[in-house]
Structure 1
Amino acid sequence: MDPSEFAISAVPLQHTPYGPLVPEKIVGKNKGKVAVVTGAAQGIGKSIAEALANSGANVAILDLKDASETKTACESLNVKSVYYNCDVTDVARMRTVLGDIEKELGAVDILVNNAGMTRGRPICMDTFEGYWRCFEVNCKSVMSTIFAVLPGMRERGSGTIINISSRAGTLDCPLALGYTDSKTAIIRATASIQEELEADGLGDKIQMFSLHPGGVPSALGASSFPADVAGRYPAAAEMMKEFHKFLKTDPSLCGMTCAYLATGQAKELRGMYFDVRQDIERVASRGRSALRKAGLYTLKIDFIEDYANEI
């Protein structure tokens, strides 16, 4: 990817909470709800958990790392918070943890699949096991939690599922195959599952979103290629340094966007891919049917003139 190939938005992008997303506008809007956030010990996940707590939700934190700091931060906002040490790729453990959360806090109303990883290796310098590990963390864990909590949401007729995605899932990204492929899969799965909900008349009650958190200078976002990859592809390594200059989005923006989506105020964007740096009210005001008709905020393939994506 070459930074010069990217277009520049005519409308300035947001990098911190704005307008409807400032904390005081969302205080208490999710009061009494139960939220689960994976990968919430630090960075974007920690900001998501804190934003949901600020909105009144009781928060369950899942991470392999010590998340006691996140738990304390959430509890300081006068909500209940629990932390479970959990490998999100361990399906049996995840099911047990989600069951324990229901017993301790209640049924899950909000699920944010945030845990993720990248390897930054081309296929010729990777192993299948390494490639697949990205899928396990970025895709398998997401789908296993969805399979676990969505039936309950359908039964109760309410819920929000947010899958933290990436711009990489919308582009051809060499040297990051496992990350790109797994994020693309999640964007597509989010849209497809939402269509199933629509078919069952549940679209207005249960919403799913795939969310690009913006250019956050997190440990994952600011990661560089391993030394051996950088040595073989020096031009790509230099280009990555250029990309790092654009990482200026505060993780709190993603956090507050998640809290806002959980309130149901942006149902028009359900099933879609959304970049948190865009004005959420401006985009949602276009209406779901208009956005879908124009093929916006979704993955697609275009063809040369006179050809269409036929049956």
Structure 2
Amino acid sequence: MDPGEFGYSTLPLQHDPYPAISPDTLKGANGGKVAVVTGAGRGIGAAIAESLAMSGADVAILDLKVENMAQTKEACKAHGVKVEAYACDVSDQKAVVETFDSVEKELGPIEVLVNNAGILDQRPLIMSTFDDFWRQIEVNFKAPLLTIHTMLPRMRERGGGCIINIASRSGTVDVPMTLGYVTSKAALIRATHTLQMEMALDNLDPAIHLYALHPGGVLTGMGGSAAKKDVLEKYGDVRDEKFFMELFKDPPALCGQTCAFLASGRGKDLRGLYLDCRQDVTKLLEKGRETLLKEKRNKLTVNFLEGYCNEP
């Protein structure tokens, strides 16, 4: 894979929280809201939960086991908000509905949903069992759709809400040995675009606002993992290790603070779009929603040969 194939930024990228999304700027911005964060046991999910807590939200944190979230829970509680931890397999519809019912009973109506839980199995399809391949689709795509399907009627009834889907640059490119991951993330990005249009059909746009967000290059257990031994023995390490490691230079807080910003409603003009948290939201907002949509910016698209489009 040649990274240059996907282009290089000529504008500076952000690698730490910047003024528009800083904790000081967003202090109290989500006060009184209840937020749910999936996959909150560590890394990006833990940072998202803490950023929401810092901005005033009460937080429900979800992971497969409650004990996985002990550190996250304490970090959030330190900001003086209510925090509850729930064991939940978010790919199980019954578990999702029951957990969300418990959250609303114990904390109140959910206004912010962040779908962060995800898995990656780095191997070619031909070396995968289909169940292992499909499990990535279940966790990375089915699960967010289950949580959204559970929450949309409630948000509609209450007249608003925010949903943030943690996507990936991998959903916009072709990366061998990550078929389950790249296809599930591409599906999640496309679903975000489409669901925002459905909100408009029901006169719920922009009251219900959705985003697909690339969390940056964060060296998590998943993001920095190598292929398994059997794959390495067959194909070798297909990464340029030095270059690969240099891609991972963003702290989880960058994504966390971007989520707090979007949850506050200050970025509503970016709703329905695919965002990269390393790109300054103020620059995107200055461009204007009408221009972004007209030019098909921050959306999955296809560039056909010139002259070939749809029938007139």
Q: TM-score of the superposition, structure 1-length normalised?
A: 0.97
How far 1:246 sits from its partner (Å)?
Answer: 1.2
Within a 5 Å distance, the mapping from 1:143-222 to structure 2 comes to 143-222=145-224
Give the corresponding residue for 1:84: 86
8 Å contact kept, 1:194–1:208: yes
Q: Percent of counterpart pairs with the same letter?
A: 49
Q: Deviations along 1:254-304, whole A, 9 cap, x unmatched?
A: 000000001111111100100000000111221222111101100011111
- Alignment correspondent of 2:254: 253
Q: Could you tell me how far 1:18 is from its partner in structure 2? A: 0.3
Q: 1:302 to 1:4 in 2, by over 3 A?
A: closer
- Superposition TM-score, scaled by structure 2 size: 0.96
Shift in Å, 1:6? 3.7
What root-mean-square deviation, in Å, do the aligned CA atoms of Structure 1 and Structure 2 show? 1.3
Residue 27 of structure 1 contacts residue 55 of structure 1 at CA under 8 Å; is this kept in 2? yes
**Are 2:119 and 1:110 aligned?**
no
Amino acid at match of 1:81: V
Distance, in Å, in 2 between the alignment partners of 1:310 and 1:146 is 35
Which secondary structure does the structure 2 equivalent of 1:9 belong to? coil
Q: What is the aligned partner in structure 2 of residue 53 from structure 1? A: 53
Where does 1:66-85 land on structure 2 (aligned, <5 Å)?
66-85=68-87
SS in 2 for 1:208: strand
Q: CA deviation at 1:10?
A: 1.1
Equivalent-residue separation in structure 1 for 2:241 and 2:95 (angstroms) = 36
Aligned to 2:31: 31
Q: Quick one: distance in 1 between partners of 2:137 and 2:241?
A: 22
Query: Contact 1:35 / 1:58 at 8 angstroms: preserved in 2?
Result: yes
Q: Return closer, same or farther for 1:122/1:309 CA change in 2, 3 Å cut-off.
A: farther
Q: Distance in 1 between matches of 2:305 and 2:8?
A: 25
In structure 2, C-alpha distance between the alignment counterparts of 1:297 and 1:205, rounded to whole Å? 21
The separation in 1 between residues aligned to 2:221 and 2:237, in whole angstroms, is 22
What are structure 2's unaligned runs of at least 5 residues?
none
Any idea what the Cα deviations from partners look like across 1:32-82, whole Å, max 9, x if unmatched? Answer: 100000000100000000000011000000001420111111111010000
Please name the residue that 2:276 is paired with: 275
Three-state SS of the structure 2 residue aligned to 1:302 is: coil
- Asked whether the 8 Å contact 1:135–1:178 carries over to 2, the reply is yes
What does residue 8 of structure 2 align with? 8
Cα distance in 1, alignment partners of residues 310 and 279 from structure 2:
29
